[in-house]
Amino acid sequence: MTTTDSTPAPNFIRNIIAEDLKANKNEGRVYTRFPPEPNGYLHIGHAKSICLNFGLAQEFGGLCNLRFDDTDPSKEEVEYVESIKEDIRWFGFDWQDREFYASDYFEQLHEYAIQLIKNGKAYVCDLSAKEIREYRGTLTEPGKNSPYRNRSVEENLDLFDRMRSGEFEDGSRVLRAKIDMTSPNLNMRDPVIYRILHAEHHRTGNTWCIYPMYDFTHGQSDSIEGITHSICTLEFEDHRPLYDWFIYALKIFHPQQIEFARLNLSYTVMSKRMLLQLIEQGYIPGWDDPRMPTISGLRRRGYTPESIRNFCERIGVAKRDSMVDIALLEYSVRENLNKRAPRVMGVLRPIRVVIDNYPENKMEELEAVNNPEDPSMGTRKIPFSRVLYIEQDDFREVPPKKFFRLAPGREVRLRYAYFIKCAGVIKDKQTGEVVELHCTYDPKTRGGDAPDGRKVKATLHWVSAAHSLSAEVRLYNHLFLKANPTDEKDGADFKTYLNPDSLETLTSCHVEPSLKGAAPGSRYQFERLGYFCVDTVDSLNEKLVFNRTVTLRDTWAKIQKFEKENMEVHKGVIKDSKPARQAEITTLPDKRGDLTPIKQEITIDDFSKIDMRVAVVREAYLVEGSKKLIRLMVDLGEGRLRQTFAGVRTTYPKPEELIGKKVIIVANLRPRQMKFGLSEGMLLSGGDSEHLCLTTFDGNPLPGDKVS
């Protein structure tokens, strides 16, 4: 991790708590809570809240409760309760003996409701749900008072008691707070605080047939527990006046509600309702499917708790909604596993290789490094023999330009083994497909180096055919094809954007024998392929199953992708068949002799994909070891700083002069790991290769404003 990565991202809630402690507010107590609804499995958005609530309490020497908001028995299950507890423990947090439930307070909440009725601040309403919506009004029109709003205290107490005793049907009556039907805040227009629901509760059974609404339960539960900082997501900001109103009306301890922007992650959805829909409609087999953004799904895929906690710290805490690129999450797990995952070799799409000049019955053991990032992990022995498997993609009968792997007559290195040269191929007589390669090896190159100093341009991974283990490997990709599948601008259902190639199952894979007996959940780096995890559900000793956690960078795949996209751009160019119009101005400026050639034309659709934003430079440093680069920490209004690099050192030898400047950043580039650190955007600049100047603003745009 770079120095910058270890610096906590901006967190305004941390600052609020620090100021409260300075002022000795709440007698110096810090008391938070994590309040999940047990109506589904937690996803990575909840992970941000877990890390925030438990993490801040831990940081400031406080406490954090686990409280289940179990006020809707029709959707809640014990399975969800247990999965939530497992997820929190997996992250390394402990609520000790402070496991609470909203249902613990049902009697007290009922007493609070009676108190409101007695004080003339609540009434029983007979309007239907549809009628309540109609009476509520709109953002531009005030609501209308319910015809039942002025019932007497005695009548309301009687009706509410009969509601509790089960006399009325579901939906026939509700208890509402009496606030203000003309309030500009719709949440204050006599909200429902109790409804009738004849359903068995997972803890209280059939004791209750009326249940409090979340807005009524939330603040009072916080107050009962003595919570000092009630941290919730931004959609509850408009509910805060109601939170405060209940507490003032009841004259009970007043926690402080603080809202932060929820996590929105690209190429997935963060709604339990939508995730449940995917399961119930058969698109995904379960909550723990490795394509799901659930914590159990990420765990099964091979993500580590440390990588997710680092991700949550890296993205910071903001008051403004934004979309976080999933590449940043992938970077976090890749960074973590790089340090801890043992290296092994596995061949996913095998092609048979016969080394003709290697003795038929010979087998030798070669020494392989377990993790070059951690010498303490030691080495292992891997068997080498006459018949091997390599990847099909590592051979081309007619190699294209820049393909340096195995081809007829070409020599490559086998990892930890020898140089081999392809001498011939065997093809399927019907399909013409290459099914076997015949090679020779140089016995003097054992270990991967040639005594005569000759070099090869590629190193391939391999396994011994006779000693390898059969395995199934599941290659997971993004669940959706669209970065924001819930974007409703085009009116399409979010399931329209499901990725049909989000899972590819390979059943004829071979892995090295050191993986025999690999424990479920064990994580490895398959050299040159990516990070993989032994599946915790389907893997067996006799048939290993691996899930791909995240890929490694593949230079050749990037070249192919670039060339394909370039060809598509060429195909899209329409030549103008009309003769050029005579220029009206015949005197043209002289052409610059040093002008960099303008690159190939792109379409307006291509350009529209670029998201340029205003950024304010907050920090600027010279980059040690580089003659051109400076490192900039820029503010896009996300509640955190992004790290970028710019080759403008010759123009700005004192980079601190840039602090406070408003610059333009391409904000939607995938994060890229450079030699000097992670780059999270590209700053626009102009000039020649020696003297580049950053593009800056003179006006007053705000951080994060779009540039067009």
Catalytic residue among 121, 262, 415, 495: 262
Distance CA 565, CA 558 (A): 11
CATH code where residue 8 lies? 3.40.50.620
Higher per-residue confidence, 661 vs 509: 509
Higher per-residue confidence, 127 vs 619: 127
Known catalytic residue: 272?
A: yes
- Per-residue pLDDT for 355 more than 70? yes
Distance CA 127, CA 173 (A): 7
Angle at the Cα of 315 (from 311 to 321), degrees rounded to 5? 130
Last residue of a domain, one of 440, 467, 494: 467
Last residue of a domain, one of 447, 467, 487: 467
> Is the residue at 126 inside a domain?
yes
Determine the 3-state secondary structure of 301 from DSSP. Answer: helix
> Is the residue at 554 inside a domain?
no
- Per-residue pLDDT for 37 more than 90? yes
For residue 491, what pLDDT is reported?
74
For residue 254, what pLDDT is reported?
96
- Per-residue pLDDT for 587 more than 50? no
Query: Mean pLDDT, the chain, as a whole number?
Result: 89
- Per-residue pLDDT for 3 more than 50? no
pLDDT grade, residue 692 (50/70/90)? confident
> Is the residue at 46 inside a domain?
yes
- Mean of the pLDDT values across residues 409-424? 96
- Per-residue pLDDT for 476 more than 90? yes
- Mean of the pLDDT values across residues 253-265? 93
Distance CA 163, CA 167 (A): 6
> Is the residue at 404 inside a domain?
yes
For residue 141, what pLDDT is reported?
95
Q: Which residue from 457, 399, 447 is spatially nearest to 425, judged by alpha carbons?
A: 399
Dump pLDDT digits (tens) for 190-209: 999 999 999 999 999 999 99
In DSSP terms, 614 is beta-bridged to 664
- Per-residue pLDDT for 135 more than 50? yes
CATH code where residue 682 lies? 2.40.50.140
Highest mean pLDDT range out of 296-300, 650-654, 661-665? 296-300
- Per-residue pLDDT for 689 more than 70? no
> Is the residue at 506 inside a domain?
no
pLDDT grade, residue 9 (50/70/90)? low
For residue 196, what pLDDT is reported?
97
- Per-residue pLDDT for 308 more than 80? yes
| DSSP-assigned letter for residue 103 | G
> Is the residue at 430 inside a domain?
yes
pLDDT grade, residue 277 (50/70/90)? very high
- Per-residue pLDDT for 603 more than 80? no
Q: Tell me: do 114 and 208 sit in the same domain.
A: yes
- Mean of the pLDDT values across residues 551-580? 49
Q: Tell me: do 98 and 164 sit in the same domain.
A: no
Q: Tell me: do 351 and 459 sit in the same domain.
A: yes
Distance CA 67, CA 47 (A): 15
> Is the residue at 632 inside a domain?
yes
Strand-strand pairing, 523-526 and 343-344: parallel
Q: Tell me: do 362 and 452 sit in the same domain.
A: yes
In DSSP terms, 236 is beta-bridged to none
Q: Tell me: do 98 and 109 sit in the same domain.
A: no
Dump pLDDT digits (tens) for 485-501: 998 777 789 999 999 99
Range of the domain at 298: 3-103+262-338
Read off φ and ψ for residue 675, nearest 5 degrees.
-60, -35
At 652, which helix (H) or strand (E)?
A: none
For residue 510, what pLDDT is reported?
98
For residue 315, what pLDDT is reported?
87
- Per-residue pLDDT for 609 more than 90? no
For residue 494, what pLDDT is reported?
93
Domain count, the chain: 4
Q: Tell me: do 354 and 394 sit in the same domain.
A: yes
Last residue of a domain, one of 291, 318, 338: 338
Q: Tell me: do 53 and 96 sit in the same domain.
A: yes
For residue 574, what pLDDT is reported?
33
pLDDT grade, residue 387 (50/70/90)? very high
Q: Which residue from 250, 252, 203, 201 is spatially nearest to 226, judged by alpha carbons?
A: 252
CATH code where residue 442 lies? 2.40.240.10
Percent of the chain topping pLDDT 90 = 71
Dump pLDDT digits (tens) for 425-473: 999 999 999 999 999 999 999 998 999 999 999 999 999 999 999 999 9
Dump pLDDT digits (tens) for 513-536: 999 999 999 999 999 999 999 999
Distance CA 249, CA 270 (A): 35
Q: Tell me: do 188 and 201 sit in the same domain.
A: yes
Known catalytic residue: 37?
A: yes
Catalytic residue among 272, 300, 474, 662: 272
Q: Tell me: do 676 and 639 sit in the same domain.
A: yes
Q: Tell me: do 287 and 375 sit in the same domain.
A: no
pLDDT grade, residue 601 (50/70/90)? low
For residue 596, what pLDDT is reported?
54
In this prediction the pTM is 0.78
Catalytic residue among 33, 37, 301, 313: 37
For residue 5, what pLDDT is reported?
43
Q: Tell me: do 144 and 119 sit in the same domain.
A: yes
- Per-residue pLDDT for 569 more than 80? no
Dump pLDDT digits (tens) for 317-341: 888 777 899 999 999 999 999 999 9
> Is the residue at 512 inside a domain?
no
pLDDT grade, residue 10 (50/70/90)? low
For residue 695, what pLDDT is reported?
82
Least trusted range by pLDDT, from 48-52, 284-288, 370-374, 488-492: 488-492
- Mean of the pLDDT values across residues 227-246? 94
| DSSP-assigned letter for residue 142 | -
Q: Tell me: do 180 and 117 sit in the same domain.
A: yes
Known catalytic residue: 262?
A: yes
Distance CA 468, CA 513 (A): 5
When computed from its CA atoms, the radius of gyration of the chain, rounded to whole angstroms, is: 32
- Mean of the pLDDT values across residues 599-604? 60
